[in-house]
A and B are shown apart, each in its own frame.
Chain A
């Protein structure tokens, strides 16, 4: 399973990853990025989906499913906008924007990896069994 792997010690908080993600994925031309960098007491914290799939069984609309590559994808047509997945993501990696009922998430496309100037992000093949709390 391909997933985004982060090394927070290398992150300088420049936000290039967020800009690249939003530029590619926010069809409204806005700032909806699937990766988030926040400054905390212990340095920069990078948040993005690790494809664990905890959100899959809790989705009332059966809108979240794992694709053939192992990536957890949201079917927007099936989504009922309840945002349950946002509250139930243990990694806080299911994103939402304030007035919108459709959540969004990282699908490990790698555009942020290319944009990162310090090598803090990497796309790696990870065995799903090694992801904590993974739902197959």
Chain B
């Protein structure tokens, strides 16, 4: 290979040292304005209040920004941190990194959870977190060498942007030899991050069996766009070795025992349960369709006759079987599936044989049914290009579905789209739109702004009806919805709407509890679930953990537990491994309090940035019910029955428009009532502001936070 490392612009030596009970007790700050490198101590107070991971990210971001800071302000920070459990190898799903920044899509603090090696390796190299602020004057690579103890900021050795190439180049460049490649973790973005607000970050892991660099995505929120705005080409970390005890835990024995128990559970039960080891999260595509939950044609419908063509067997036939596919060492869930020697049919890499990661469920729904494409190879092609260009698959699918509905309604036409016939199901047009985002040309530049900004543009420039655009544009807080149909589950509407960062299902996925199993019938029940589950799931992000091993495998006796939806045995596993790593003695209740501190801090942070109030928690009506007659009539029997049974209406003499209006009024009112109940349960005012009392109870009643909530209540 003829590529050599770029000129070193700044070098900073440091002393590598072993971890202690899950922490290095040190973080790294790089200010790209002056190329300053600073080591900072981690205080006990930071650990007590913020735990790690996303908590540390929000802590540093709060200090970096002001209420006026926007995504492209120099002081905006990108913070990457794993967490105290991150990097253990015995418990599946323990290698995650959490990335935090002010998002270009939402203008508020955003967090994204990603696999790959970088976060754990950063710890092994000597730092619990890295903070990146400022903007470089040229493209740079930041290299953290945990072998020699040096941080260097170097000129980028290549103009290449797209991740499947850049990840490979940098892994080759910084590894001493083939055997050393497993010790390298790279963070890159892609060409679309220069042209759109949807840019994601790819975190690499070296797949020794395939001899290929694999990618995992911090997909949501446009963090890659911020990365490129800072002119960072890549981050690279190198460690001397990987072992099972590098976190120096207090009680390795308990970690071993708990990890082996889950490995065995997965070995014995995965084939009978979710088959994650065969096809990953894509196992649920046909299940979602069967329950009318698979977003189809911009969330108009929840199923389609052609779903069989994008059902999991179609993808299972594409991805290589029998290979360990964990995105971190020791993850026996092994869901990071990949297709090998996949020949690309379009775009700049047409004809190339590549490894395609995924598709995960979200990708299949976003790039398939939601845009009317029922063809597995096309979904694979879109998935590959989204990843390498660094376009968030979920936002791409949801915004393309919105654009397609606007096109079919005449709000857009070929003159506006530059000739793209963006009807549902037009695979060629969807691919071309994606290639335009990569190249920074054509209608891709407009679509790449996201739905929130497109709604303004379509109303202002193309005569779109703002009310209709608000109803069908599946975004909230600026973020595109992820891929579940929430219309028939009020709790899931709350799971999407009453969130800190926007409608992403990582806070709560309550559809089955609510709609299918009717386990949370009252507003209070739903509010309790919308308190517990977001707090419980927040905890994964504080500790460097993945959510999937919590409930994508369940113990045999789980159904006999008091609260089976919580998977109590696995909750206890987390309590046990946390205590075994850190030496603390939390229980399942204090675990929730750890999350509440960070969750409420993030809510106050949103308010500080001018958002985070009740008005920001509104959701588009498409998420609640049928916007159009076409939708109503497609499920008329269901809706008529609800009007009769729930609203006491005689529907026989009503026309469709009257029925739609009555249903809308009923459903919108219920969302408001749910909002009241959830805010009350969370200890917030009716306007969604955490009370001073709540902040005191959590021990986060600092003058800065109290000032923000006092101002919000006064306004």
Residues of A within 8 A of B (CB): 57-62, 79-84, 86-88, 90, 96, 98-102
Contact = CB atoms under 8 A, between A and B. Distances in A.
A20 B509 CA distance: 54
B260 A86 contact: yes
B253 A98 contact: yes
B329 interface: yes
B638 interface: no
A82 B256 CA distance: 8
Given A59-B324, A88-B267, A82 B89 contact: yes
B267 A60 contact: no
B260 A101 contact: no
Contact of B262 (A60, A87, A101, A102): A87
A62 B208 contact: yes
A101 B243 CA distance: 8
Contacts of B326: 60
Nearest to A92: B264
Q: Which of A60, A80, A86, A99 has the most CB of B within 10 A?
A: A60
Contacts of A96: 256, 260
Contacts of B244: 79-83, 101-102
Contact of A101 (B252, B263, B266, B324): B252
A60 B324 contact: yes
Contacts of A57: 322-324
Nearest 9 CB-CB pairings of A with B: A81-B244, A87-B263, A82-B330, A101-B244, A82-B89, A87-B264, A98-B253, A99-B253, A80-B329
Given A60-B324, A80-B329, 17 more contacts: A58-B332, A59-B324, A60-B326, A60-B329, A62-B209, A80-B330, A82-B329, A83-B90, A83-B260, A84-B330, A84-B332, A87-B259, A87-B261, A87-B264, A87-B265, A87-B267, A88-B332
Interface string B145-159: 000000000000000
B267 A81 contact: no
B170 interface: no
A88 B244 CA distance: 17
Chain B binding surface, main DSSP class: loop
B260 A81 contact: no
A60 B259 CA distance: 15
B180 interface: no
26 contacts: A57-B322, A57-B323, A58-B332, A60-B89, A60-B330, A61-B182, A61-B242, A80-B89, A80-B242, A80-B243, A80-B244, A80-B329, A80-B330, A82-B89, A82-B330, A83-B256, A84-B330, A87-B263, A87-B332, A88-B264, A99-B256, A100-B252, A101-B244, A101-B245, A101-B252, A101-B256
Nearest to B209: A62
A58 B324 contact: yes
Contact of B329 (A61, A86, A98, A100): A61
B248 to A, nearest CB: 12
A59 B259 CA distance: 15
Interface string B318-355: 00001110100111101000000000000000000000
Contacts of B329: 60-61, 80, 82
Interface in B235-271: 242-245, 252-253, 256-257, 259-267
Contacts of B257: 98
B266 A87 contact: yes
Contacts of A100: 252, 256
Contacts of A86: 260, 263
Q: Which of A57, A79, A80, A98 has the most CB of B within 10 A?
A: A80
A81 B253 contact: no
A98 B259 CA distance: 12
A83 to B, nearest CB: 5
A127 B243 CA distance: 35
Interface of B: 89-90, 182, 208-209, 242-245, 252-253, 256-257, 259-267, 322-324, 326, 329-332, 334
A99 B260 CA distance: 12
Contacts of B323: 57
Contacts of B208: 62
Contacts of A83: 90, 244, 256, 259-260, 263, 330
Q: Which of A80, A84, A96 has the most CB of B within 10 A?
A: A84
A80 B246 CA distance: 10
Contacts of B89: 60, 80-82, 101
B548 to A, nearest CB: 16
A11 to B, nearest CB: 25
A87 B243 contact: no
B673 to A, nearest CB: 46
Nearest to B208: A62
B342 to A, nearest CB: 21
Nearest to A60: B329
A49 B90 CA distance: 21
A101 B256 CA distance: 7
Contacts of A82: 89-90, 244, 259, 329-330
Nearest to A59: B324
B256 A84 contact: no
Contacts of A88: 263-264, 267, 332
Contacts of B324: 57-60
Contacts of B322: 57
Q: Which of A62, A80, A87, A102 has the most CB of B within 10 A?
A: A87
A93 to B, nearest CB: 13
B19 to A, nearest CB: 14
A113 B443 CA distance: 75
A62 B324 CA distance: 10
Nearest to B326: A60
Contacts of B242: 61, 80
A99 B331 CA distance: 19
A98 B580 CA distance: 13
